[in-house]
């Protein structure tokens, strides 16, 4: 009986350890963050898992941030310039030394990448984040360094390592972007975009053999790398409604939400609130209906959601008072960013297929459909139209690929190839570089 009781106590102890609480505080650089509890955060409406701290990727990301050494400005400029050209001539020693100094941080990133769960409740913001907001700078640094290291490895001929680091960067960006705040989404998308640029340069270099391109294309098709735009809605909606409550209670100055024209004297906040027609209860009703509308749109194809959200802004949000409009506007901008992220990922998949087609016959296809089914299982659909991307083989041998972009109109590939997002179409123009040696 005594042994049985001891066994039961041991099992209860182990069970308690398995569901250990988050630490009371975590330190990231010179910032100390107080953690909340799972129960507190759930009461606010957030999804929050009871993850043992030892199994939580957030712990490893924090350790990586504390182990990371940022480059000084001259070194950063050198790394960026070299990575853009995939050429580290004259900068090999400085680059190799920098990557060696950050080997521990890179290793921690890889360990965190293999862990599926990543959450940490934050007491001050009354929210739950995969990534504490003060930690976003660290993740931008990680994304940038993965881009640099991938480019360096590629320049050294270590193509497999370079591509692995690119995928590490893409998954890192997705994890940040699927946090419950729109600012995290924007940062995560930026990480993915800088990684895609390096991948595009690698593919365009002509140095990847067909087997390497095939493996890259298969990995891009297999992994779900594009973040879902709807993930930021929960955190933002709670924060926005909380801001309205603070304004109504007089704890937040409405003038902080609507900047005055330069030189204009600051009015009384309450008088200004009445002047612009801000009624917190009406604003709450409008925004609550807006969030319910977003929840409904999240279940639909992106191009349908994007069109519907734009129409909602034109028909309804435009008539709201300046403060309520300002609180809703980030969602429209975020939706554009998520769409662009999908376009970037699709563009690299298509480019891989085009390069493989070229390697097989030393010509590029006249139509994207010619890549089916050997190089693409199916044609990716433009998230802004729901149709295949625009494609044209130019007379000079260059390739032009485009999305109709946020105006939802096909302008025949009209845009700035040096800035794909300049519009009116999102244009990707590629000039294939001749390889130094034919790939084997």
Higher pLDDT: 421 or 435? It is 421
Higher pLDDT: 217 or 5? It is 217
Does some domain include residue 41? yes
Least confident of 38-42, 228-232, 303-307: 228-232
Give the domain range for residue 348. 338-430
Q: Based on the fold, state whether residues 314 and 345 are members of the same structural domain.
A: no
Confidence of residue 20 (pLDDT cuts 50, 70, 90): very low
Q: Based on the fold, state whether residues 298 and 358 are members of the same structural domain.
A: no
Average pLDDT over the chain, rounded to an integer = 85
With pLDDT > 70 as the criterion, what percentage of the chain qualifies?
84
Q: Among 164, 186, 205, identify where a domain stops.
A: 205
Confidence of residue 258 (pLDDT cuts 50, 70, 90): low
pTM of structure: 0.85
Count how many domains the chain has.
3
Q: Among 186, 205, 224, identify where a domain stops.
A: 205
Residue-level pLDDT at 437: 52
As a whole number of angstroms, the distance between CA 175 and CA 341 comes to 14
Residue-level pLDDT at 24: 86
Residue-level pLDDT at 255: 63
Residue-level pLDDT at 232: 63
pLDDT digits (tens, 9 = 90+) for 171-185: 999 988 877 677 788
Q: Based on the fold, state whether residues 330 and 347 are members of the same structural domain.
A: no
Q: Based on the fold, state whether residues 68 and 50 are members of the same structural domain.
A: yes
pLDDT digits (tens, 9 = 90+) for 263-296: 667 677 777 777 777 788 888 899 889 988 988 9
Q: Based on the fold, state whether residues 325 and 362 are members of the same structural domain.
A: no
Does some domain include residue 245? no
Q: Based on the fold, state whether residues 18 and 141 are members of the same structural domain.
A: yes
Does some domain include residue 213? no
Does some domain include residue 66? yes
Residue-level pLDDT at 18: 40
Q: Based on the fold, state whether residues 324 and 407 are members of the same structural domain.
A: no
With pLDDT > 90 as the criterion, what percentage of the chain qualifies?
50
Q: Based on the fold, state whether residues 124 and 192 are members of the same structural domain.
A: yes
Q: Based on the fold, state whether residues 293 and 377 are members of the same structural domain.
A: no
Residue-level pLDDT at 170: 96
Does some domain include residue 86? yes
Region 242-257 average pLDDT = 71
pLDDT at residue 83 greater than cutoff 80: yes
Does some domain include residue 231? no
Q: Based on the fold, state whether residues 145 and 92 are members of the same structural domain.
A: yes
Q: Based on the fold, state whether residues 326 and 349 are members of the same structural domain.
A: no
Does some domain include residue 230? no
Does some domain include residue 246? no
Higher pLDDT: 421 or 130? It is 421
Q: Based on the fold, state whether residues 12 and 33 are members of the same structural domain.
A: yes
pLDDT at residue 364 greater than cutoff 50: yes
Residue-level pLDDT at 79: 97
Q: Among 334, 352, 385, identify where a domain stops.
A: 334
């Amino acid at each position: 009986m005594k042994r049985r009781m001891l066994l039961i106590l041991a099992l209860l102890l182990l069970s308690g350890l398995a569901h250990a609480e988050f630490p009371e505080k975590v330190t990231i650089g010179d910032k100390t963050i107080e953690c909340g509890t799972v129960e507190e955060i759930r009461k606010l409406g957030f999804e929050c898992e009871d993850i043992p701290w030892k199994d939580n990727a957030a712990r490893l990301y924090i350790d990586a941030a504390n182990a990371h050494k940022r480059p000084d400005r001259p070194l950063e400029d050198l790394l960026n310039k070299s990575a853009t050209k995939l050429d580290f001539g004259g900068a090999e020693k400085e680059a190799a030394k920098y990557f060696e100094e950050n080997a521990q941080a890179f290793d921690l990133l890889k360990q965190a990448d293999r862990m599926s769960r990543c959450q940490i409740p934050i007491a001050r913001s009354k929210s739950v984040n995969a990534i504490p907001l003060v930690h976003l700078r660290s993740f931008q640094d990680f994304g940038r360094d993965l881009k640099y290291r991938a480019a360096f490895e590629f320049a050294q001929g270590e193509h497999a390592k370079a591509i692995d680091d690119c995928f590490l960067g893409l998954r890192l960006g997705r994890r940040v972007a699927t946090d419950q705040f729109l600012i995290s989404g924007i940062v995560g998308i930026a990480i993915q975009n800088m990684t895609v640029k390096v991948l595009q340069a690698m593919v365009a270099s002509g140095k990847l053999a067909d087997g390497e391109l095939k493996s890259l294309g298969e990995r891009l098709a297999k992994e779900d790398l594009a973040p879902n735009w709807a993930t930021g809605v929960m955190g933002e909606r709670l924060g926005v409604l909380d801001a309205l409550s603070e304004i109504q209670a007089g704890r937040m100055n409405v003038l902080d939400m609507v900047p005055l024209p330069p030189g204009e004297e600051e009015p009384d906040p309450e008088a200004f609130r009445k002047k612009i027609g801000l009624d917190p209860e009406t604003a709450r009703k409008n925004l609550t209906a807006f969030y319910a509308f977003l929840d409904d749109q999240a279940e639909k194809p992106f191009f349908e959601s994007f069109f519907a959200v734009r129409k909602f802004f034109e028909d309804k949000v435009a008539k709201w008072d300046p403060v309520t409009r300002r609180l809703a506007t980030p969602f429209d901008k975020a939706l554009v960013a998520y769409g662009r992220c999908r376009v970037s990922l699709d563009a690299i998949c298509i480019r891989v297929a085009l390069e493989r087609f070229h390697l097989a016959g030393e010509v590029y296809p006249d139509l994207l459909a010619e890549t089916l089914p050997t190089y693409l299982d199916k044609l990716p659909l433009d998230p802004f139209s729901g149709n295949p991307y625009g494609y044209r083989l130019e007379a000079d041998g260059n390739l032009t690929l485009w999305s109709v972009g946020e105006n939802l109109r096909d302008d025949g590939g009209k845009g700035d190839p040096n800035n794909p997002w300049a519009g009116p179409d999102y244009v990707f123009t590629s000039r294939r570089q001749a390889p130094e040696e034919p790939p084997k």
